Structure 1
Amino acid sequence: MNTNTLPAFGLGTFRLKDQVVIDSVKTGLELGYRLVDTAQIYGNEAEVGQAIAESGVPRDDIFITTKIWTSNYAKDKLVPSLKESLQKLRTDHVDLTLIHWPSPKNEVPVAEFMGALMDAKAQGLTKRIGISNFNIALMQEAIAAVGAENIATNQIELSPFLQNRKVVDFARSQGIHITSYMTLAYGKALKDPVIEAIAQARGATPAQVVLAWAMQLGYAVIPSSTKRENLANNLLAQQLALDDADMAQIAALDRNERLTSPEGLAPVWD
């Protein structure tokens, strides 16, 4: 089984830039967030690093995830690119490094970039490695390359409207953790009548309901927000317990509605 434990709750930084991301990360850390998720392509690693440095929270208490961009997958580029990320993040290691998307047109074979990630881990640049946006066939290739026990997570789009059960079931069968991104479906899930009704009945916010649902299914979540009130409210999702009826109602909302599938990057989805 995979011993790569991950915090269940974190702070996403996708689309957040400059002072906005600095403020979001600092506020999040102040409120009690301890996982911060960034990526090379977000163009905010330096600001995330600055926010962490200025937060006063010890580095050892913070779990930092970053993701390697497709142009850095080649064996001779991956480790140097990660070292550059570490400089920006002002740390000598990250806690988790992911391959962000499959290599476009399979230009760099899965075995090559997974091998390079293992090298990065062996050098102490990252404590754990993983993948993002991989379908079952790509997960199988990654497992063949480095072993399932070395793959901490597959970070995938997953929301009440896109429950991605085939990928989840396969990952689970291999002991690979699922991290859910866009869990709130860009806010669409917050306006769903079923979720609103559960929230009302529980005295919770719709966001808390959706995040609690994902965590009860065993997924890690990384919602982002720029508002202190939302950051604080989201954190409280960890205390919310949904019952079987709530979970069944949300399970029924699945309609395979995917919001992100960039042409040239996305694999053939399961």
Structure 2
Amino acid sequence: MRHTGGMKPLISADDLRARLEGGEQVTVLDVRYRMGGPCGPGAYAEGHVPSAAYVDLDADLAAPPGGTQGGRHPLPDPARFAAAMRRCAVSAHRPVVVYDDWQGLAAGRCWWLLRHHGHPDVRLLDGGWAAWVAAGGSIETQAPEPGPGDFHAGPGPGDEVVTAEELGRVGVLIDARAPARYRGEEEPVDAVAGHVPGAVNVPTSLNLTEDGCFRDVEDLREVYAEVGAVPGADVAVYCGSGVTAVHDIIALELLGVRARLYPGSWSEWSARATSGSP
């Protein structure tokens, strides 16, 4: 992961509230989404952080499903992604805060894409929507009419992603899915159950406290050190479709550990396995 000026990946609800109430220009993006859960636009219409624009994960943050070439949520075309961000008033000179109501598992994809394509100041709201409400943040129901942004997506450095062909050469390959899926005991979505050979399991749930916020750095350091994910190690992360894996990447960034993303993740790997693709 490219570090942009030492920018921390998280912002607290209290900090965001103080900035918005103080008149600071912050672009807020609502990325509420949940696989098999309630519809994001509906939750957004019922109430959202003031000035927040809604971002559709499937339409704006992913390309159409690619099967053996990209899995269920391939990375979006950079130009299409940038156009979606400009529609939401994202500009390179203005900080961005992203949030959801799914422990950051969806909003993390937006955080990663903006960072990957060169935005210098983007953070995930720690604790998401629940933290905002608990902090007494104002709630709006009307969608804003943001002016157009000026964000243009850079090509993205190749060393932030890893391909299926490269996985066998990764020093520490982390599977961010739930333990039962990692162990192959269940697979509710993809073609077959199991995990990529050699992968270790650090489920995203281990990143969080009971209130849905990220754990202290020392606690996280202990979790990841157990699998060898320490500063200087060659680390890559995958999940089911390349979305929730970013949650582990954010936790690792808090520790100063650079981690790459396997975008196709298990959905691509398992599709390749069943199709006989090399």
Task: Provide TM-score, normalisation by structure 1.
Answer: 0.30
RCO higher in structure (CA 8 A, sep ≥6): 2
Task: Provide TM-score, normalisation by structure 2.
Answer: 0.29
Higher helix share: 1
